[in-house]
A and B are shown apart, each in its own frame.
Chain A
Amino acid sequence: MLGDSSKAQEVFHTTLREAANRAAQGELPKESFWLFRDARWRCLEATKTDLQPEALKLDEHDVTPQAAAQIEQLKPTQLAVWISGAPDPQRTALALFYLDEFDYNEILDLAELKLSELSRFLARGRRQLQAWLDAKHPEQGTV
Chain B
Amino acid sequence: MRMLRLLRRQRALLNCAPISQDRLADRTMRAAVSRADDSDEFVNQQSFDRAVAALVRLIPIPPETAEWFSERDLVVGSKWTWKKMARNPAVLAISIAVVVIAGVSVFQVLSRLNDFPGSATARKLLTVAASTRPVMLDPVSTEAGTLSDLFFMKHGLEHYDVPTEFADFRTIGCRVFEDEESRRIAQIWLAEKRMQLFLFPAERNAKTGAVLPFPGWRYVHQEGWTGAVTERSGVCFMATVRGPEKDLEPYLSKATGK
Contacts and interface: CB of A to CB of B under 8 A. Distances in A.
Interface of A: 5-6, 8-9, 12-13, 16, 32-33, 63-65, 67-68, 71-72, 74, 76-77, 79-80, 97-107, 115-116, 118-120, 122-123, 126, 129-130
B176 to A, nearest CB: 73
B87 to A, nearest CB: 13
A71 B60 CA distance: 17
B29 interface: yes
Contact of A76 (B8, B40, B56, B62): B56
Contacts of A97: 16, 19, 49
Indicate the member of B9, B57, B59, B62 with the most A CB atoms within 10 Å. Answer: B59
10 contacts: A68-B48, A71-B48, A97-B19, A100-B23, A101-B74, A103-B23, A104-B29, A105-B26, A122-B15, A126-B48
B250 interface: no
B4 interface: no
Nearest to B42: A63
Contact of B55 (A9, A79, A107, A115): A79
A8 B65 contact: yes
Contacts of B74: 99, 101
A58 B64 CA distance: 36
A103 B15 CA distance: 12
B73 to A, nearest CB: 9
Interface of B: 8-9, 11-13, 15-16, 18-20, 23, 25-26, 29, 40-41, 43-45, 47-53, 55-62, 64-65, 68, 74-75, 77-78
A115 B12 contact: yes
B45 A63 contact: yes
Contacts of B75: 33, 101-102, 106
A118 B15 CA distance: 8
For the complex of A and B, list the 5 residue pairs with the smallest distance between their C-beta atoms, beginning with the closest: A119-B12, A119-B15, A71-B51, A68-B51, A104-B16
A71 B41 CA distance: 17
A110 to B, nearest CB: 10
Contacts of A126: 45, 48-49
Contacts of B78: 32, 102-103, 106
B60 A100 contact: no
B164 to A, nearest CB: 72
B124 to A, nearest CB: 58
Contacts of B61: 5
A71 B55 contact: yes
Given A64-B44, A116-B12, 12 more contacts: A9-B62, A33-B75, A65-B44, A67-B48, A100-B20, A100-B23, A102-B78, A103-B78, A104-B18, A115-B16, A118-B12, A126-B49
Contact of A79 (B8, B29, B43, B52): B52
Given A63-B48, A67-B47, A76 B60 contact: yes
A20 to B, nearest CB: 12
B21 to A, nearest CB: 11
Indicate the member of B8, B9, B13, B65 with the most A CB atoms within 10 Å. Answer: B65
Nearest to A117: B12
A138 B220 CA distance: 92
A77 B13 contact: no
Contacts of B64: 9, 13
Nearest to A116: B12
Contacts of A9: 62, 64-65
A123 B42 CA distance: 12
A67 B44 contact: yes
Contacts of A119: 11-13, 15-16
Contact of A100 (B26, B47, B53): B53
